[in-house]
Structures are given as structure tokens and as C-alpha cells.
Amino acid sequence: MSALLDVRGLCTVFRAGDATVRAVDGVSYTVEQGETVAIVGESGSGKSVGAMSILRLIPDPPGRITGGQILFAGRDILRATDDEMRRIRGGDIGMVFQEPMTSLNPVLTIGRQITEAIEQHRGADRAAAAKRAIELLGLVGIADPRRRLRQYPHQFSGGMRQRVMIAIAIACDPKLIIADEPTTALDVTIQAQILELLRALTRRLNVALIIITHNLGVVARYASRVNVMYAGRIVESGMAEAVYHRPRHPYTVALLRSVPRLDRPRQARLDPVQGQPPDLTRLDEGCAFRPRCRFAVEACAKARPLLEPTEEPSHLAACFRSRDLAGLSGAAA
Amino acid sequence: MTAAESAARPLLEVKGLRMHFPVTEGIMRRRTVGEVKAVDGVDFAIRRGETLGLVGESGCGKTTTGRCILRLEHPTAGEILYDGIDLARLRRKELTAMRRRIQVIFQDPYSSLNPRMKVGEIIAEPMKVHGVEPDAAKRAARVRELLGVCGLGPGFAERYPHEMSGGQRQRVGIARALALNPEFIVCDEAVSALDVSIQAQVVNLLEDLRERFGLTYLFIAHDLSVVRHLCQRVAVMYLGRIVELADGDELFDNPLHPYTQALLSAVPVPDPSVEARRTFQPPGGEVPSPINPPSGCVFHPRCPIAVESCRHARPESREVRPGHWVACHEVH
């Protein structure tokens, strides 16, 4: 059976003054039914732009999707009309963004924002939509739903607003939820509550989840597969367990080694990734990580390595030297 | 007092610190209708050369505590003894002299640097304000030295903040904090806004500087992993109070307060095998409002081990093991 989501060679560019930035530069990955896949990377790696491209929410200008296919349940989203797109967003694909205060409308009640989605997508009447909204608030753990539905976003805490966003995301029985840094703005105990809720709901409703994050701990706890992005490309992809314990891209190795660990005693020093993040307007034809890479050789300056299988078939890395990294470990270093 | 006594004394001692902000209503006639007890009776000490971590979630009062020490707030009550001098009582002039010894590094390297000033001017500014280095050439030399100390080339003096990355800007913020040769630095979420790969560089820089210049840090942060790495001792705050304080490894390996335990279990570890073995229960509920905090122990509405007495009596901090302080009735 084919994958629920099959992204093939996606390219999204932004014009910045005279320069063109290839924010997403030939990204391919799949998401199976009911599966949780993480996309991890730092600022500017293209992880959010990639997700927004799936929803076709790239502001044009300055942005534009210039290539690739996004097959969702077998259909290419990039060929869908605007009307079809509106049905997909919030219908078959639910969304949860980082800052719930800016994604909720401040002058509409919470109830209206939930029922609006149900009426639009499911053609339900007001009474049926209201009933469903009460049920949804209960599902996401908001007490006293009847009263809360009449309230406005500012009367909710950050964690509660994110629960509302999740209620809206699951309102129309989506097949996929895209969560872009869903807990970055939240405190750690609330972050844990929200992520546990997302995990429980996606399992119960058999919804696939793409979780976009910079937090390596969140990936380790919640994702079965992970794609590591750097400078607009996926540099490593595989089962979370394989990527963390047998990383085959120097960036993944460096990233895992640079984070301090809560479960380990103080080490003498951290082992940071050297240098600065790449300037996407000045990339050459070589590997974008080369200036910061301790394994770089001459070949790395001449061409960008493609994402290819390592000795494990489902574990891919885009590095000429990935096989030389065998024996190196990230998390277990 | 002898020199030996002075050296043994903590550099900073905070005793019974309270910072209550009035809640007002009305535009024409403002009246106070309540109080936010942002900091409500906090005690701790920091030894010379050590890094004390102050952790907790938003609204727990950790930043306000730091601002009181910097005297960016005027505390409602309590003492802040810095090298024996009570900062809480100092007048403006005396405070200016103390500010040469106490500096701050803020979270956001985007908003804490003046966008219209060149980096060289930003770093020289404290020297000008305090009249430390009146000679312009010497001041410029000192700026170059500080840039070098913070891992930036001399060319950066001529740049503007917007021409730099987040990590580079935070290095500028650190260079500015060092300009007056301080002994004590309050780091308020100093690495929180940085990407993982850059964060580790800045954490290492802060450690190097502590060793090289014999600095003492109060490291305020919500990221517990960074705190474990950087701090010798750690205090956990909840709703204006310190609930637990201990040596770093002791606190993280043997947390005793139910809030600390909940906080630690909520943090995912970057290792799928470890995570697969972990069982955890995120604490229910949310942090209550500091305007009308719960009676007794402020954590009791969310606490899994609370008993009836927790609703009435506020637990005092007790030393349950050597150097390990806990404010909980149920921990013995």
C-alpha cells in the first residue's frame, strides 16, 4: 500500500532582495497511516517552510514552490485548486502551530472557531456542530466545556489555547496532523501535557502526525521516525532509534553531542558544533555543512551528497563519508 | 572581620526576599485591588566562584528575583547582602558604584542591543557611563580585547547588531557585561533563545569566563539540562517560593520535592531507548495565579502526595540531608 503522504523532491524558494534562497531544496520523505514522524532542525533549516508547503501556506511573493510533488492519499496537493486546498486544510489535514494566540481569532468565541470548522468542512448544522464542539473540548481535556465554549482566546492560558487548537485540528477527522513547534512557547510541564495529549489522540484516532521541532528530547520521546534537516535538505533519515544511536551524518553526530543531558552527571565541557549556521544566500555547489564539518574532505567541496541508504536499508544519510562514521555514536557518546 | 572570614562568607545572601506588585484598577482614579506576590519569601546564598541555578516555569518569580538583585526592582521586603552590603537599602549613588561589580546578560540578543549603535560602541558604553576608561584609544583597545575574549574578531567592533547571528549577538552581550570587570553576573535565560548548536558554544564560553576571571553567576533558566551542566547548586522555584535547593547532581539524581520530581520527569531526554523505558506522569493542572495563590503549600492543588495539612500550613524549608533543602511537609 502506498504511503499516506509522499513528498518527492519538494523545492520552495524565497526571494530576498536580489538573492534567491532555496529554503527547501529537494526534500523527499513519506509518512504512513497513523505514524508519527519528526522533522528536526535548527532555525533556517527549512523544517517549517517544508511543512507550510504541504499546506500550500507559503506567502507568494516572496515565496514559491518551484518543484516536486506532494502526494497525499495518492493525489498531488500541488495540483489541487484553491477550493480543493481549502477543503484539505483543516479537513483531511489538521494543523497545530507554535503560537496559539496568533492562530486563534481574538474576537470570536472559542466555540465559534470550532463550530466554524465543522460547519465548513462537514456541512453540519449549528446544533450538531455545537454538540460536537462540546465533545471535542472534553476530548482534549478542557473542563466545563459548555461554559468554556462561550469564552474568548484571551481567557485561556497558553496550554489551554493549544488544547483548543488541537480540538480544531481533530474536529473534522483528519488523516494527518502537522504540528509545527507545538510546545515551544509552553512551560515544560505543560509541554509534556500537550504532547501526551497529541500522542494519545493520534493513537486513538489513528491519525498520522508530523511533528516539527528543534527539541531532540521531544523527538526521542514521541517519534518513530525522524528526518534531520540542515540548510534546506534532509541530511539524515531513519528510525529514531537508529539515527540517535548510529548517526551517519556528521551534523547529526555533532548535534547530539552538543546537547547537555538531564540524565547524566556534569561533564567537563560540551562538544558544540563549531562555526556559524549557513548563510543560505551564499551556498556553493558543495555540501552545506562542510565549513563546520570535522570529517570534510576535498570531494565535499565539489558536489552536494545525495540522501542514500547506509548499511541499514531504511536509514539514509547525505554524506560522502557516512560509512566512515560507523562506530561513532551520538546519544550514547 | 578578618580576610579569612570575608573569604568564607557567601558573596551574595538573599534573606526573606519579597516582591509584591500592586494590581490596580481604574483610569481616572487608580486604586489597588490586589497584589501579585511574584517573590514571596526567598532565601539563598551564592558562594564566591560558584554558579547557582535558579529554575522554574514562567511566573515562578525567578526573573523577578534576579531583577531585585540587580535593583531593577525595589523589593517589598527582605535583605540582599552582597559582600555584606544590603543592596535592598542602597540609594541611587551607592547603587551606581555597586553596579560596576554586578552585571547582567539578558535572554534576547535581539532586543537587548541598541540597533543604532555599532558593536564597539555597545561594548564601550558601560565604560563611558561609569567613567572607567576616559581615553578613547585605550577604550577601543579594551573593546578589541573583550571581543577577543568572547571569541569575536576585532572587525566586529564596526558592525551593527543586525549584521550578526544570534550567537554572535549574545557574545556581544557577554562582552558588554564584562567591560567593567564585574565579579558577579546575573544570567537571565542567557542561552535560551539560541539554537542547540550555538547554545553549546555560548555555554562553554560562560564556563571559560568563570574560570578565567573568577566570576560568580546566578544562572536563571527554564532549561533544566543546561542548568545541570552549568551549575554547582540549583534552587527550584514555584509560585514565588523556593521549594528545593541542593547540589546539582544531588538535586537531579535524588529530587525530593514532588514539584521537582514532576518537573524533571516532564523533560524528555534525547535518547529513544532511555525514553522507551521511562514511565512518567506529567503533573496535572496549571500554575495558579500569583494574585490569589493557594493557601498553605502553594503546590498542594497539583501535588500527588498532598495531605489535609498541606492546605493550611505553609511548609518551611528544612535541611533534610546535608546541603539539601526541601519545603514540603511530606518529605522526611
Model confidence pLDDT, tens digit, residues A270-323: 888 888 888 888 888 999 999 999 999 999 999 999 999 998 889 999 999 998
Q: How far apart are CA B184 and CA B177, in angstroms?
A: 10
pLDDT greater than 80 at residue B272: yes
CATH 3.40.50.300 domain range(s) in chain A:
34-47+83-223
Nearest to B225 among A256, A262, A276 (CB): A262
Nearest to B229 among A43, A220, A260 (CB): A260
Give the nearest chain B residue to A244 (CA atoms): B271
Contact criterion met (CB below 8 Å) for A216 and B270: yes
Strand partners, B40: B18
Per-residue burial over B18-53, b if 16 or more Cβ lie within 10 Å, else e, is: bbbbeeeeeeeeeeeeeebbbbbbbbbbbbbebbbb
Give the nearest chain A residue to B202 (CA atoms): A272
Grouping H, G, I as helix, E, B as strand and the rest as coil, residue B45 is strand
Please tell me the predicted confidence (pLDDT) of residue B110. Answer: 75
Instruction: Residue B195: list chain A partners with CB under 8 A.
Output: 42-43, 214, 277
Nearest CA to A132 among A151, A156, A152, A149? A149
| Burial of B187 per CB tally in 10 Å (0-12, 13-18, 19+) | buried
Q: For A89, which DSSP code?
A: B
- Displacement of CA A315 from its chain's centroid (Å): 19
Please tell me the predicted confidence (pLDDT) of residue B139. Answer: 93
Give the nearest chain B residue to A279 (CA atoms): B165
| Burial of A110 per CB tally in 10 Å (0-12, 13-18, 19+) | buried
Instruction: Residue A160: list chain B partners with CB under 8 A.
Output: 286
Give the nearest chain B residue to A160 (CA atoms): B286
Measure in Å the smallest separation between the Cα of A256 and chain B Cα atoms.
8
Record: contact B57-A263, CB cut-off 8 A: no
Measure in Å the smallest separation between the Cα of A269 and chain B Cα atoms.
7
In CATH terms, is domain A34-47+83-223 a member of 3.40.50.300?
A: yes
CA contacts within 13 A on the Cβ side of A222: 36
- In the sheet that B77-82 helps form, which strands lie side by side, from edge to edge? B31-46, B12-25, B77-82, B85-86
Q: Does A259 touch chain B (CB under 8 A)?
A: yes
Please tell me the predicted confidence (pLDDT) of residue A332. Answer: 42
C-alpha cell at B109: 540578543
pLDDT in tens, B39-91: 999 999 999 999 999 999 888 999 999 999 999 999 999 999 999 999 999 99
Q: Does A267 touch chain B (CB under 8 A)?
A: yes
Q: Does A244 touch chain B (CB under 8 A)?
A: yes
Grouping H, G, I as helix, E, B as strand and the rest as coil, residue A233 is strand
pLDDT in tens, B215-241: 999 999 999 999 999 999 999 999 999
- A174: cis peptide before it, omega within 30°? no
pTM: 0.90
Tell me the domains of chain B and their CATH numbers: 3-101+182-244 (3.40.50.300)
Give the nearest chain B residue to A43 (CA atoms): B195
Measure in Å the smallest separation between the Cα of B219 and chain A Cα atoms.
15
Nearest to B165 among A216, A266, A277 (CB): A277
Please tell me the predicted confidence (pLDDT) of residue B1. Answer: 53
Instruction: Residue B268: list chain A partners with CB under 8 A.
Output: 192, 215, 217-218, 220-222
Give the nearest chain B residue to A230 (CA atoms): B197
pLDDT in tens, chain A (333 residues): 589 999 999 999 999 888 889 999 999 999 999 999 999 999 889 999 999 999 999 988 889 999 999 999 999 999 999 999 998 998 899 999 887 677 889 999 999 999 988 988 888 888 999 999 999 999 999 988 999 999 999 998 888 999 999 999 999 999 999 999 998 878 888 899 999 999 999 999 999 999 999 999 999 999 999 999 999 999 999 999 999 999 999 999 999 999 998 988 877 788 888 888 888 888 889 999 999 999 999 999 999 999 999 988 899 999 999 988 886 665 444
Instruction: Residue B273: list chain A partners with CB under 8 A.
Output: 241, 244-245, 331
Instruction: Residue A43: list chain B partners with CB under 8 A.
Output: 166, 195
